Amino acid sequence: MPVMPRPFSLASALALAIVVFAGSVASAAPLSDDPPPLRVSVEDGRIAWTPLVTVGHLTLEISGPEGIVVMRAFAGAETPSLDLASLGLPDGEYAYQAVLSELDHEHEVIVQEGRFAWVEGAASVQDAAMVIVHAQDVTIQGSLCVGVDCASAESFGFDTQRYKENNLRIHFDDTSSSAAFPRNDWRIQINDSANGGASYFGIDDATAGTRPFRIDAGAGANALVIGSSGGNVGLGTATPVLELHVADGDTPSIRLEQNGTAGWSPQAWDMAGNESNFFVRDVTNGSALPFRIRPGAPTNTLYIASGGDIGLGTAAPTERLTVAGNGAFSGTLAASSVSASGDLSAGGDILGSGRLELSADYAGSAPFQVVDTNAAGDPGDDETLLTLDDAGNLTALGTVNGSSSVHLKTDFLPVDNAQILSAVREIPLTTWRYRADAESVRHLGPMSQDFRAAFGLGVNDTSISMADADGVAMASIQALAAENDELRERIAELERLVSELAARDQ
C-alpha cells in the first residue's frame, strides 16, 4: 500500500508552504537540477543516509503501513541509519523525510523526501526529492516560477510570478490554534483536474468545502467590475455609474431564484428591461409578465404614499386609491368605496359594498354618464344611455324601471281610493324650478312635505318616490273610475225614466 510523505512537524509544514508562495522563496535553480544532500543506500536490512554536505543537525521521520511512525535525531558527525530488520517493520512501502541544516548556511533548512520498500527482509530505495527552506526573509529581484513544468531558463516576459503545471492550486492554511483567532483555510484553484472538466478560476473555502467565487473561462469583457467611484459594481460595463450597474446588448436582466434547497417550493422571477418595457417575469408559471412599464411613462404614473395610499397620476393620494384623470375598467370593479377626482369609466361591472360618490367641480358638467361606445344600428358613434348632471337631474335614453315584484314586498294593507282622491284634491300643486336649474326650466307637482303629510308615504319629507307618486295617481284614477261608473249607471237610469215619460205623453 503506497504511503504518502507527511510533514515532520508544524514548523516543517510552514516551511514547505513558504516554498509555494511568492515573496518568501529564494530564487534557485529547479530542484531536479540539484543533487540531494543525502545519498541513500541499503545493505543487509540496514538503510543509511550518507550526508554529501556538512550537516549541523539532522532529524529523520519514517512513516509506513498501519500508521507506523519512526523518528530519530542525529548529530552532525553521525551517519543516519536504521536497522530495518531489528525494528520489526511489516512489508510495504515507506516514506521518509530528512530535515537537516548545513553548518555553512545556518539560516537554511533542507528537506529531503523519498520512499523505500521493505519486502521479505529486503529494502529498495526510490528517487529522492529536495526542498530548501529558508528560516529568514527572502528577497527576489527577478521573477519567480513555481511548478514542475518550470523551465531552467524560463522566459517571464512581464510576469513577476508564474505557476506552471497541470494541477494549479494555492492553499492558504491558517494554523491559528486559539479559538479566539480566525483560522479558516482558503484555496485558489485553477481548472478541474479530471479529463473533460471545466476551466475556471475559483476561490474555495477550504474549511467548509465550498466555492463562493468562480470565473469560468470565456467570461466576457467586464463581466465583473468594481469601479473607483465609491465601489460601484458593474456587470458587463467598465464604468458603473450606480452601486450596481448591469449592461448588456439585449435585455439586461436579473434573476431571483428560490431553488428549493431550503424545503420551499421552487420559484423563479426575472427583472429585466429593454426598448419595449421594464418588466417582472414569472418564470415558473409560463413566463407570464404580471408587471410592465413602457418607456416614456410619466412621473407618478404609480405612486405609493408612506401610509399605503396609491396614486395613479398623482403624488398626493388622499384615498386608498386616488386616480388623477380618467379611470377605465374592462372587467368588474368591486369596492367598498370608489372616489375619483376625474372621470370614472368602466367597460364592465362596478360592484360596491359601500358608497359611490360622484362630484363635479364646475357647473354644467355631467359627473355621471353611461355611454354605449358602439350603439346598435349606429356603429362607431357613442350614445349616452344615462346621465346624472350637476343639478341632480337623471336622464335615461329609455325607460326607468323600478323593482315591484310581490316577492320583494311585505306588510300589505288595503287602500281607500276615495280617501286618496280626496287628499289629492286638497294637496297644493304649483309650478317651480330647482335652484340648480336654469331659469328657463319649469316643473309641476307638490312639495315633498305636503305629499308626506297627506299620504304618509316615503322615507322622509324631503323626497317623493316615483313609486309612491305613481301609486297615488293610480289610486286616484281608480277612485275617479268608480265615480264615473256610478255616474254612468245613474245617467243610464235617468235616460230610461225620461224615455218612459216621453212614451206616456204620446
Q: Strand (E) positions, 147-185?
A: 161-163, 168-172
* DSSP E strands, 135-266: 144-146, 161-163, 168-172, 186-190, 200-205, 210-216, 225-226, 233-235, 244-246, 253-258
Residue 289 has a pLDDT of 97
Q: What is the pLDDT of residue 10?
A: 31
Alpha carbon of 26 to those of 100, 145, 152, 165, 468: distances in Å?
18, 11, 15, 20, 113
Residue 236 near residue 223 (C-beta atoms within 8 A): yes
Phi, psi torsion values for 85, nearest 5 degrees: -65, -40
How high is the pLDDT of residue 487? 95
User: In residues, how long is the chain?
Assistant: 506
Which pLDDT belongs to residue 399?
Answer: 87
Determine the Cα–Cα distance for residues 241 and 249; give it in Å rounded to an integer.
17
In this prediction the pTM is 0.54
- The pLDDT assigned to 101 comes to 79
Question: What pLDDT, on a 0 to 100 scale, did the predictor assign at position 325?
Answer: 83
Using N-to-C axis directions, what is the helix angle for 417-426 and 466-505, rounded to 10°?
A: 100
- Taking a C-beta distance cutoff of 8 angstroms, is the pair 339, 355 a contact? no
**Regions of the chain short of the pLDDT cut 70:** 1-34, 103-107, 127-132, 336-347, 353, 355-367, 374-381
pLDDT on residue 18: 31
Residue 225 DSSP SS3? strand
Domain boundaries, the chain: 10-165, 301-350, 358-401, 412-482
Q: Report the CATH fold assignment for 10-165.
A: Immunoglobulin-like (2.60.40)
User: Which residues, 6+ apart, have CB-to-CB distance to 171 below 8 Å?
Assistant: 17, 20, 185, 186, 187, 206
